[in-house]
């Protein structure tokens, strides 16, 4: 086997840790002192025919970045400083949410209750899945904030099926369910391309609801400015990232690969752009399936993107508190 690689973790001085980036664990959801909270969500509402195929997503992301666990103080060139700059508040890792292979309603209520508790502490939840059904209960929980939200969905697929395989809360219906929530006032969807589960009528329904679409091809041709112009100043934004939005060459660790995807910097600069003119109130990263990753490339991309997002949110909080 040509698998004997030098151990980069020991090269960087990493110590063993069970948390993302070696961050402090959060053991009490009622009292969290953090800017954001990593929450592993292995499963919500999988289709019965395929089951919870992304259940190992959260642990794979913790492992993927473990080599940097001793490097939190280093300069991150994607952020212009350490992930958590001096005077900012770090993120925590809340571990994985308990789940059941059969009781999907229970899965959804545990996710929703967990998100509500995190929000009560004024901490930004970052859910790491799990398949793309995990945002539905998160989006429902956002109503506890008592204000209106914009969703920025970044995904190769539009997820507007009314029902699929007799399931209304599955990963092909996430944005349709979001559109039915009274606190969701605006939906912007970025990255659609190729062939997915959506039918022409689903796309029509989404446009009739008022969704603004920026297809992957639009992003490659026109850049990010047209999207960010559509984010209202000082609005409250939930960012829902299906990792298949990115190109399969950088995120092969997903079941719904489609050619022509977004780059790491296109997604990161969208996240930064939102934080600059509005407020990120919650995020999720879904469809992470380490079993189909190629030499850890997908884990690398997604874990670094989550780490950078934590840095963006820490800076957002620092600005708001000063």
Q: Which residues bind Mn ion (CB under 5 A)?
A: 132, 155, 157, 159, 242
Rounded-to-integer distance, Cα 68 and Cα 65, Å: 6
Nearer to Mn ion, 136 or 307 (CB): 136
Nearer to Mn ion, 170 or 311 (CB): 170
Question: Which string of DSSP letters, residue by residue, matches 118-154?
Answer: HHHTT-EEEEEESSTTTHHHHHHHGGGG-S-EEEEEE
Residues 87 and 318: beta-carbon distance below 8 Å: yes
What lies within 8 Å, CB to CB, of 30 at 6+ separation is 117, 120, 121
Least distance in angstroms from the C-beta of 7 to Mn ion: 35
Nearer to Mn ion, 12 or 213 (CB): 213
Q: For residue 184, report the phi and psi dihedrals to the nearest 5 degrees.
A: -95, 110
Residue corresponding to tokens 């850890």: 296
Residues 272 and 227: beta-carbon distance below 8 Å: no
In residues, how long is the chain? 322
Least distance in angstroms from the C-beta of 172 to Mn ion: 8
Nearer to Mn ion, 78 or 242 (CB): 242
Of 297, 252, 293, 246, which is closest to residue 268 (Cα–Cα)?
Answer: 246
Nearer to Mn ion, 93 or 155 (CB): 155
Least distance in angstroms from the C-beta of 197 to Mn ion: 9
Nearer to Mn ion, 78 or 155 (CB): 155
From start to end of the chain, where are the E strands? 24-25, 36-41, 92-96, 124-129, 149-154, 184-190, 212-214, 236-242, 279-286
Nearer to Mn ion, 14 or 152 (CB): 152
Least distance in angstroms from the C-beta of 296 to Mn ion: 23
């Amino acid at each position: 086997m040509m698998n004997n690689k030098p151990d980069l973790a020991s090269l960087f001085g990493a110590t063993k840790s069970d948390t993302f980036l070696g961050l402090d664990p959060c053991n009490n959801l009622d009292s969290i002192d953090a800017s954001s909270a990593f929450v592993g969500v292995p499963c919500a509402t999988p289709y019965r025919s395929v089951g919870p195929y992304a259940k190992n997503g959260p642990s794979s992301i913790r492992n993927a970045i473990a080599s940097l666990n001793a490097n939190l103080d280093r300069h991150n060139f994607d952020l212009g400083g350490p992930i958590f700059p001096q005077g900012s508040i770090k993120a925590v890792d809340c571990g994985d949410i308990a789940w059941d292979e059969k009781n999907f309603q229970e899965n959804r209520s545990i996710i929703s209750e967990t998100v509500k508790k995190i929000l009560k502490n004024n901490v930004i939840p970052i859910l790491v899945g799990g398949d793309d059904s995990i945002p539905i209960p998160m989006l429902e929980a956002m109503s506890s904030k008592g204000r209106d939200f914009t969703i920025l969905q970044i995904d190769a697929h539009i997820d507007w099926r009314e029902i699929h395989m007799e399931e209304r809360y599955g990963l092909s219906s996430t944005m349709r369910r979001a559109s039915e929530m009274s606190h969701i006032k605006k939906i912007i969807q970025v990255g659609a391309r190729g062939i997915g589960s959506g039918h022409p009528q689903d796309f029509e329904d989404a446009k009739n609801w008022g969704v603004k679409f920026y297809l992957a091809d639009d992003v490659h041709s026109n850049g990010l400015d047209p999207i960010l112009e559509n984010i209202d100043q000082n609005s409250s934004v939930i960012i829902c990232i299906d990792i298949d939005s990115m190109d399969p060459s950088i995120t092969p660790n997903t079941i719904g690969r489609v050619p022509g995807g977004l780059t790491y910097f296109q997604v990161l600069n969208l996240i930064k752009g939102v934080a600059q003119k509005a407020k990120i109130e919650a995020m999720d990263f879904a469809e992470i399936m380490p079993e189909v990753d190629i030499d850890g490339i997908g884990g690398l991309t997604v874990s670094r993107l989550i780490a950078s997002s934590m840095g963006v949110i820490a800076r957002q909080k620092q600005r708001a508190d000063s």
